[in-house]
Amino acid sequence: MAAYDIVIRNGKVADGTGKTLFAADVAVKGDRIASIDSPGTLRGDNEIDAKGKVVAPGFIDVHTHDDTALIDNPTMAMKASQGVTTVVCGNCGVSAAPYLRPDVGHWMSLIIKKKENLSKDFAEFAGKVEAAKPAINGAFLIGHGTLRINMMGDDLNREATQAEIARMRGLLDQSLEQGAIGMSSGLFYAVSSAASTAEVAEVAQPLGKWGGVYTAHMRDEGDHILKAMEETFEIGRRAHAEVIVSHHKCSGRSNFGRMAETLPKFTEAMKKQQIAFDVYPYIAGSTILRTDMLERADKVLITWSDKMPGMSGRDLADIAKDMGVSMKEAGERIQPAGAIYFMMDEKDVQAAMSHPGAMIGSDGIPFDAHPHPRLWGTFPRVLGHYSRDLKLFPLEDAVRRMTSYSAQRFHLTGRGQIERGYYADICVFDPATVIDTATFEKPTTPAAGIDTVLCNGAIAWRDGKPGGGRAGRALNRRQMQDEAKA
Ligand code: ZN
Ligand code: CU
């Protein structure tokens, strides 16, 4: 009788720590990695031949908006197809829970499509995720913007009162107690831009008590980015929380090259407090359509429009020409809508990605009609385009920035490494062929070169399609902290 459930044979292991590739068999029993031994020595009920392939930890997508995609779309093909086995949800200040209002509303509709996914507390929401049996794991941040909507309704163009701050803090405290991993803010967005530094720092106080992280879509990623970085670091210090700056970029042509200012600022600040950031491997960003953002972009593509669905995938300049109006006017006519903005410098993106504080996050938006290709392409693009083809960093380091480093920064105990006793979250890929195939024109195609993906020992993706394994979990911060102590 074979000793193991699955043995991945004859592959080269990139263990996630950055250590040089080594040949080994990797054995899985139940949901764990049970053994790592010399090639050809292990036997299992199910053997996967990984000759010529790399065996890496499953990738951790640290920046997602997949909160309810895990429920509505449990095979999670857009992520499993990239080798992703854990998504960190609730970024940019917007989380699906806790949500106390009876209706979804415009802002929340960005991440919640079905009313039945509304959950008044985090535990209830985590239960819905587990009941959906997603193919991959989710870990969840609580959005400061969502807390604001809960307590302030539509009256968001002002700072919260002391009483409102206390109620938001209470809701965050309860959510962290129930297993959320931290808080995100999105001071760039209208729902939160009237919040002061003090408001966010006061709401965030429970992070220190529970060991939760603070992630920030900063107030400004353009002209005033240095000031926004200082604000973000200050909030982290005041809340006694580790800081993760989201999707670090220098936005707009007039800010091209300014990574030469922001990256040294990160390096300096990282000596004094725990700070890291995530990056996606593209020169275009994507969010809601905002006509005040048009000027800083070289090109704008529409990702969705509720009023005019036919505009999805089109260039706003062409739409404006057809309408015979300015881009700003065309933008107003198709609102509410989402957009892709070409607004970054390739050299800046590469500099950010290769900084010691950088990890990889897609920032993919799962429900967009014509999404940014990062939703399906981020991780294979870093491995194939940036690491293999451009040699920006070695493969082992690329894997580290998607696995062990990410797990450390978000305190995802037992994940992000090929190591005995760790959860069997594994991605087997071909280093010669791995590459993103999703483009701005055709954004929803699975990557090439991803062979087999296991999550908690079950096959989440294999041979270009979902593997039937539905063993993903809602990762619980308290449970992970207990495991870290044990
Ligand atoms: Zn964001
Ligand atoms: Cu985001």
The three-state DSSP-derived secondary structure of 444-468 is: CCCCECEEEEEECCEEEEECCEECC
Q: Identify the pLDDT of residue 340.
A: 97
**Ligand 1 ion: residues within 5 Å (CB):** 92, 217
Q: Taking residues 467-472, what's their average pLDDT?
A: 96
Query: Per CATH, is 285-341 categorized as 2.40.420.20?
Result: no
Both tokens assigned to 275 = 């700070």
Distance from Cα 262 to the centre of ligand 1, integer Å: 18
Q: Which residues contact 461 (CB under 8 A, 6 or more apart)?
A: 77, 80, 81, 83, 135, 450, 452, 453, 467
Q: Identify the pLDDT of residue 88.
A: 99
**Maximum distance among all Cα pairs of the chain, rounded to whole angstroms:** 73
328, 363, 483 from 298: Cα distances, Å: 14, 20, 48
Are 171 and 150 spatial neighbours (Cβ–Cβ below 8 Å)?
yes
Distance from Cα 203 to the centre of ligand 1, integer Å: 19
170, 371, 384, 385, 403 from 448: Cα distances, Å: 46, 19, 10, 12, 20
Q: Taking residues 132-154, what's their average pLDDT?
A: 98
Quick one: pLDDT band at residue 106, thresholds 50, 70, 90? confident
196, pLDDT greater than 90? yes
Kind and range of the H or E run holding 300:
strand 299-305
Domain with CATH 3.20.20.140 in the chain: 58-284+342-412
What is the C-alpha to C-alpha distance for residues 58 and 437, in angstroms, rounded to an integer? 20
374, pLDDT greater than 80? yes
Distance from Cα 184 to the centre of ligand 1, integer Å: 10
Residue 46 has a CB neighbour count (10 Å cut-off) of 12
Both tokens assigned to 245 = 């700056």
The residue type of 362 is S
Distance from Cα 364 to the centre of ligand 1, integer Å: 10
Angle between helices 346-353 and 259-270 (to 10 degrees): 10
Are 65 and 94 spatial neighbours (Cβ–Cβ below 8 Å)?
yes
Ligand nearest to the CA of 91: 2
Distance from Cα 165 to the centre of ligand 2, integer Å: 24
First to last CA, the chain: 31
Kind and range of the H or E run holding 288:
strand 284-288
Per-position DSSP letters for 7-38, written without gaps between them: EEEEEEE--SSSPPPEEEEEEEETTEEEEEES
Q: Taking residues 278-305, what's their average pLDDT?
A: 96
Distance from Cα 64 to the centre of ligand 2, integer Å: 6
Quick one: pLDDT band at residue 20, thresholds 50, 70, 90? very high
Ligand nearest to the CA of 375: 2
Q: Which residues contact 374 (CB under 8 A, 6 or more apart)?
A: 280, 281, 282, 286, 362, 363, 364, 438
Distance from Cα 61 to the centre of ligand 2, integer Å: 11
Distance from Cα 431 to the centre of ligand 1, integer Å: 30
Ligand nearest to the CA of 249: 1
Both tokens assigned to 359 = 């990890």
164, pLDDT greater than 90? yes
Ligand nearest to the CA of 64: 2
Distance from Cα 66 to the centre of ligand 1, integer Å: 13
Ligand nearest to the CA of 251: 1
What is the C-alpha to C-alpha distance for residues 343 and 365, in angstroms, rounded to an integer? 18
Both tokens assigned to 256 = 């091209």
Distance from Cα 160 to the centre of ligand 1, integer Å: 22
Homologous superfamily of the 58-284+342-412 domain (CATH): Metal-dependent hydrolases (3.20.20.140)
Does the pTM of the predicted model rise above 0.85? yes
What is the C-alpha to C-alpha distance for residues 56 and 286, in angstroms, rounded to an integer? 29
Q: Which residues contact 109 (CB under 8 A, 6 or more apart)?
A: none
Q: Which residues contact 169 (CB under 8 A, 6 or more apart)?
A: 202, 203, 205, 206
Are 425 and 415 spatial neighbours (Cβ–Cβ below 8 Å)?
yes
Burial of 486 (0-12, 13-18, 19+ CB in 10 A): exposed
Distance from Cα 33 to the centre of ligand 1, integer Å: 34
Q: Identify the pLDDT of residue 486.
A: 86
Quick one: pLDDT band at residue 418, thresholds 50, 70, 90? very high
Quick one: pLDDT band at residue 472, thresholds 50, 70, 90? very high
pLDDT tens digits for 233-243? 999 999 999 99
Distance from Cα 88 to the centre of ligand 1, integer Å: 13
Distance from Cα 247 to the centre of ligand 1, integer Å: 7
1, pLDDT greater than 60? no
Domain with CATH 3.30.1490.130 in the chain: 285-341
Distance from Cα 103 to the centre of ligand 2, integer Å: 22
Q: Taking residues 83-97, what's their average pLDDT?
A: 98
Prior bond of 336 cis (ω within 30°): yes
Distance from Cα 414 to the centre of ligand 1, integer Å: 27
13, 53, 414, 424 from 357: Cα distances, Å: 24, 28, 21, 26
Distance from Cα 244 to the centre of ligand 2, integer Å: 12
Ligand nearest to the CA of 189: 1
Q: Which residues of 263-295 are buried (b: 16+ CB within 10 A; e: fewer)?
A: beebeebbeeeebbbbbbbbbbbbbbbbbebbe
Distance from Cα 5 to the centre of ligand 2, integer Å: 37
What is the C-alpha to C-alpha distance for residues 387 and 396, in angstroms, rounded to an integer? 9
The residue type of 460 is A
Can you give the length of the chain in residues? Answer: 486
What is the C-alpha to C-alpha distance for residues 198 and 335, in angstroms, rounded to an integer? 33
